Amino acid sequence: MASLSLSLNKNPNPPVTGLFPKQDNLNRLATKTSAISLNKPFSSKKLENEKTTIMFTRSSVSSTTSTHDYRKSDAVLSHDHPHPHHHNHHHVDEATLLLQNEEDERPLREIWREIQGSNDWEGLVDPLNSCLRREIIRYGEFAQACYDSFDFDPNSKYCGTCKYPGAHFFEKLEMADRGYKISRYLYATSNINLPNFFQRSKMSSVWSQHANWMGYVAVSTDEDEIRRLGRRDIVIAWRGTVTYLEWICDLKDILRSADFGPDPTVKIESGFYDLYTKKERGCKYCSFSAREQVLAEIKRLLDYYEGEEISITVTGHSLGSALAILSAYDMAEVGLNVVASGKKVPITVYSFAGPRVGNLKFKGRCDELGIKVLRVVNVHDVVPTVPGIIANEKRQFQKYIEETMSFPWSYAHVGVELRLDQSHSPFLKPTKDPGCAHNLEVHLHLVDGYHGKGKRFCLETKRDIALVNKNCDLLRSEYGVPSQWRQDENKGMVRNTDGRWVLPERPRLEGHPPDMAEHLEKVLMIKRNSNSNGGVHGTSSPGLEAS
């Protein structure tokens, strides 16, 4: 995998249709979760002691709007103002009230630990800290990159893999200025019981019969970015699904022991476990499990940058969020983030629209290990309400039910929740489409405009609202943005030397790097040392072998 194992020099140059699920299945699922209020908006209480500025704007949102330059003054519609398309023809031609949260002027390098959750984001979520907002969006865009680069087309022989080679990944996605480089791609076997999650090619000759591309590991390499961050950052981004939601109907609510640590009562959902730990020895992309791939790569990077200030940030959307939390727990449980000096490298998860992953004991163990999880959810999205409809963290007697009754379907969310509501954005139209409520770009749009409970929706960054319709249809029609607009030019077809339009060949996909077994053996050594010190019982670990 030489093409992906990029040279990570210490001082490198800067790197440069939707088919939604069967409605009846999701309607039944939504009915089962009716006990959770998904439609109750935040109160619009009169704001006191807030800095306000009167901004004058001429027809900033009109029925003929075609520009996508939506600055703060253009986004001052609040939840309690009439929307521009209402039949009373109320327009926003008058002065409008712009609520401005006080900007956090402190440089990120001075407060990065706080922003990464060292104090569980106390005082940063409500009202939403401006620095934290930018970081949530930045890591959300790392997760979105998994969708924008994934080949969903069943007519392509590359269906199920990444469209771009690692050396050009961020460049192709217009993210070359982020200061990160890909260090390796992650794969998982598709031969597990999540049939509506994996993408397969209809062609007989394909890149792999058994694997799907699941995301990537990247590391900050640009010196200016490292100074801005205050540390070298390792990012793990996991892919979810943008085209189907039916995989949530395939969750069997079956909990099983995680087997990564000493306590067998720490349990996770079996489908997530299989996705993370299973392998196909005959497939060069899945001869190592997704778990082995990520642990070995993180160990390699921590050894390479030994002595530096480092953070590990894991991000994912939808099912990718479940993998993000699971892999963060795994790294901490194995002790991978404890470096030679004995210092702990902080592990933070930015989760978007994620389901519950494990039981109450799993949540408790994540808290004990110091894993920091910030969960961004849309109250209209059904995915964060599953599994665990009967017994979950919202139920008063969950601990009693789980421990005393040994109830096998008890689930609990991990971490701090940032709860958003799409009905508060004046840019979005009313819809009951579950895919729109679950869409990652919609979540990032809501983060951009959210200031706190009861506060007005106001876009804080220059993030284009057209991105909302990249993979869905949720923007109001007056903005003139087509739905589902993102695709490769000519759907990837190019004209060859004979004048025929063809799908071009892609560079040969590499399997695992030759030194992977070596770094995996180091992970096993950490585990064995922990065993000998009484930290972890047992001698084997699922999906973790050096051979």
Name the strand (E) or helix (H) holding 175.
Answer: none
Q: Which domains does the chain have, with CATH numbers?
A: 125-460 (3.40.50.1820)
Provide DSSP, 503-535.
Answer: PPP-PPPP---TTHHHHHHHHHHHHHHHHHTTS
For residue range 172-227, what is the model confidence (pLDDT) as tens digits? 999 999 999 999 999 999 888 776 778 888 876 688 888 999 999 999 999 999 99
Question: What is the distance between the alpha carbons of residues 189 and 289, in angstroms, rounded to a whole number?
Answer: 8
Task: Determine the Cα angle at 322 with ends 250 and 26, to 5°.
Answer: 35
Name, in order, each residue with C-beta under 8 angstroms of 533's C-beta and a sequence gap of 6 or more: none
State residue 302's pLDDT score.
97
List, for the chain, all residue ranges whose pLDDT scores fall below the cut of 50. Answer: 1-23, 33-100, 535-539
State residue 529's pLDDT score.
79
Contacts by 29-36, CB closer than 8 A, 24 or more apart: 29/248, 29/249, 29/382, 29/386, 30/382, 30/434, 32/389, 33/382, 33/385, 33/386, 33/389, 36/385, 36/394
State residue 26's pLDDT score.
54
State residue 287's pLDDT score.
94
* CB 238 within 8 Å of CB 215: yes
β-partners of residue 237 are 216, 315
State residue 532's pLDDT score.
66
Question: What is the distance between the alpha carbons of residues 385 and 392, in angstroms, rounded to a whole number?
Answer: 9
β-partners of residue 350 are 315, 374
Question: What is the distance between the alpha carbons of residues 366 and 371, in angstroms, rounded to a whole number?
Answer: 6
* pTM more than 0.85: no
Tell me the CA distances in angstroms from 521 to 39, 319, 512, 515, one per residue in order.
50, 29, 15, 10
β-partners of residue 182 are 218
Residue in the block written with tokens 């609202």: 465
Question: What is the distance between the alpha carbons of residues 276 and 327, in angstroms, rounded to a whole number?
Answer: 8
* CB 185 within 8 Å of CB 162: yes
- Residues classed as catalytic: 318, 381, 438
State residue 406's pLDDT score.
75
Residue in the block written with tokens 């009313």: 430
Name the strand (E) or helix (H) holding 233.
Answer: strand 232-238
